[in-house]
Structure 1
Amino acid sequence: MSDTLSKYIPEYAVNPIFDLIVTHGVHLKIVNERATRHGDYRKGLSGKHEITVNGSLNKYRFLVTLIHEIAHLVAFEKYGRNIKPHGIEWKHTFQQLMVPYIRPEIFPNQLLPLLARHFRNPSASSDTDTTLSLALKQFDAPTDKNYIFEIPYGSVFRIKNGKIFKKIAVRTKRFECVEMDSGKTYLFNPNAEVEIIKN
């Protein structure tokens, strides 16, 4: 298992993460990319703790995602199954599990202050923290995608589900875009990845 882990997470995180997995009886599955989530946790019918994480994530996002899911398991075990999935108990558990990893042997220096800030009050997804999400994405393999904040107003683009939009305005921190088929307006976070459609 530790050999497998070393392909997906930073070297100095392998042994402590392996210990966490063993201690909590986690059955870890590394899966093909899912567009809607980075990972998930569930307690199987057999009572096994099953965690899946997208194998396409870069090693820093993979580590954050894995600890996020282990925090669900630990919080449910400690506080019971009636807690909110991303409520106070989970936030506190995620903070406690994550803090030992926020160090320069594991994360690059430019990520450390962003992680420290994020984990003062972790959100349900690191993607909602635009600054951290963009910083983590710089370690992804290159793609032909753009971030929505980079493309000019009036650009037509496609998102993962195939829907086509036009970027028209900015509203506070998000971008207003019109879906071409329905004419409905949607708001996109600046770190949304899109594929520009050339005229």
Structure 2
Amino acid sequence: MQNILAKYVPERAVELCFELIKVNEVHLKIVNERVTRHGDYRKLPDGLHQITVNANLNKYRFLLTLVHEIAHLVAFRKYGHYIKPHGVEWKHTFQHLMLPFIQPEIFPSSLLPVLAKHFRNPTASSDTDAKLSLALKQFDPVNDKSYIFEVPYGSLFRLYNGKVFKKGNKRVKRYECIELSSGRVYLFQPNAEVEIIST
């Protein structure tokens, strides 16, 4: 297991991750990319605890996702199954489990202040924290995608599912975008990755 983990998490985090997995009796599955999520946790009918994490994540995002999902398991065990999935109990558990990892031997110095801020009140996904998402993105392989906030007003862009949108105004934190085929308005996080369509 440690050899496998070494391919996906920072070197200095391997032993800590292995301990978390062992102590919590987690069945870890590393799976192909799912666009809608980085990972998930579920209790299987046979009572086993399964966590899946996408194989395509960079080492820092993989580590955050793994601990995020283990925090669900630990929080449910400690507080019961009636807590909110990303409520206060999960937030405290996630903060506690991440403490040993937030150090310069594991994360680059450029990420540490962003992580410290994020873990004051962790969100349901690292993607909903635009600053953290952008900071983590710099460790991804280069691709031809752009962020919504980089797309010029009125420009067309395509999502991973082929749907085409036209960018509109910013509303507080998110951008209004019109789906061309239906005329419906959708709100996009500024750090959503899209493909600009050149006209």
User: Normalising by the residue count of structure 2, what TM-score does the alignment of the two structures yield?
Assistant: 0.98
Aligned AA for 2:54? N
Aligned residues: 199
Cα root mean square deviation, aligned? 0.8
Unaligned runs of 5+ in 1: none
2:87 maps to a residue whose letter is G
Q: Please give the secondary structure, in 1, of the residue aligned with 2:73.
A: helix
In the alignment, which residue of structure 2 is the partner of 1:108? 108
Instruction: Please identify runs of 4+ aligned residues in structure 1 that moved more than 2 A.
Output: none
What is the CA–CA distance in structure 1 between the aligned matches of 2:46 and 2:124, rounded to whole Å? 27
Aligned to 2:170: 170
- Structure 1 residue identity aligned to 2:24: H
Q: Distance in 2 between matches of 1:103 and 1:26?
A: 24
In the alignment, the residues of structure 2 paired with residue 20 and residue 129 of structure 1 have an alpha-carbon distance, to the nearest angstrom, of 25
SS at match of 2:7: coil
Please list the CA deviations of residues 122-179 of structure 1 after superposition, one character each: whole Å capped at 9, or x if unmatched: 1111111101111111111111111111121121000112111011222222222111
1:54 aligns with 2:54: yes
Q: Which amino acid aligns with 2:61?
A: R
Secondary structure class of the residue paired with 2:71: helix
Measure how far apart 1:79 and its partner are. Answer: 1.0
1: distance between equivalents of 2:104 and 2:6?
17
Q: Distance in 2 between matches of 1:178 and 1:2?
A: 47
CA distance in 2, matches of 1:51, 1:168: 38
Q: How far off is 1:99 after superposition? A: 1.3
Q: What is the rounded CA distance, in whole Å, between the counterparts of 1:96 and 1:65 in structure 2? A: 15
Gaps of 5+ in 2: none
CA distance in 2, matches of 1:16, 1:178: 45
CA displacement at 1:189 relative to structure 2: 1.0
| Matched residue type, 2:110 | Q
How much does 1:77 deviate?
0.9
What amino acid maps onto 2:196 in structure 1? I
What residue is the counterpart of 1:126 in the other structure? Answer: 126
User: Does residue 66 in structure 1 map to residue 66 in structure 2?
Assistant: yes
The aligned counterpart of 1:145 is: 145
